[in-house]
Amino acid sequence: MSVSACSRRAVIVALPMLLGACASMPPPPQIAAPPPPVDPFEAARYGAKPGEPFEVQPVDLRKMNPKNLKQEVDFPTDQPPGTIVVDPHSRFLYLVQENGKALRYGVGVGKAGLEFQGSASIQMKREWPRWTPTPDMIGREPDRYAHWKAGMDGGAENPLGARALYLFKDGKDTLYRIHGTNEPQSIGKAVSSGCIRMLNQDVIDLYGRVPRGSKVVVL
């Protein structure tokens, strides 16, 4: 047998062993992509708020969807500037500006069947508001809410957060609020008992922009 024939035969014999060795090799380890860098401007905007009577925790922006952070957007509407428009389906709150623009904030909204719809106005504004669960809330979840039927003073643990805007319709309190939250992970979700919740930093910003009597439209 020639040398070249022996060589070919050796290759043919060895080939299955080589393929088997390749097939049994483990896949290369997966390297997780590094988290995107945090914008210093956004980090400052959503950082702790000095000068408040209670601590405002900074928001971990690495855990937030960027679309839920405050930003100016195009928003053509027939509502006049200064109107608040809440779209619970997309889970955004818009503060209408001039020239077809709006400031957009991500919000948490009410669970199915608990939402407010229609027009209202802001008749009260409170910093670090006191919270009292409604009778309906206590009736639905007594183990969770009955303990607080006499109310909870404002503070860092209060579910209304740093600010609250109280919605009235036809001169009556609707019991719905636009308020802060100590659960930033709930922004962008339908989790509340009907109220519209915002990051504390965002509700502080909105609170300073809207006076009493401002119109609110919930789609």
What per-residue confidence (pLDDT) applies to 29? 64
Find how far residue 82's CA is from the centre of its chain.
22
Q: How far apart are CA 65 and CA 83, in angstroms?
A: 25
pLDDT value of residue 73: 98
- Residues in the chain, pLDDT under 70: 1-37, 112-114
User: Residue 12: its pLDDT value, please?
Assistant: 46
The CATH code of domain 40-218 reads: 2.40.440.10
Report domain extents, the chain: 40-218
- Summarize pLDDT for 46-65 with one digit per residue, the tens: 999 999 999 999 999 999 99
Q: What is the pLDDT of residue 142?
A: 84
